[in-house]
Structure 1
């Protein structure tokens, strides 16, 4: 639903209810879309936050895999004579 900002002033409570219910509410200014009312996502509960933190801690505790040495990371760009290939 599209509503002008001027008209929305008088029916803001109803527009917020509709947006919370899942309706798309777009406020227009001079006939052009200006803003969209969307519901705020609820914050995760304590149990979900704790589970996420445990995953993050476990991931951080694992050691990163060794890769190629940085000193030789660009050797493939140059030939034995030191010139670019």
Structure 2
């Protein structure tokens, strides 16, 4: 059986989280508020000082953030809450 799970790439998680947040046009403060954390915690996640909780990642997925990309670096890293052209 083929393993379809991509390994987590924790070294780049913060940068990808920041890129996806900016793609969605959120400030650190507004993203943090929407995801249930403070601006300081959001900043710590993006710097790689600490890692997001499962509750945070679940909320991010519900907002359309590409959580697979954030965790693994695999995926489009694009907004998932909008229809793609031609669909």
Q: TM (normalized to structure 1)? A: 0.23
Greater relative contact order (Cα 8 A, min sep 6): structure 1 or 2? 2
Please identify which structure carries the higher strand content.
Answer: 1
Q: TM (normalized to structure 2)? A: 0.23
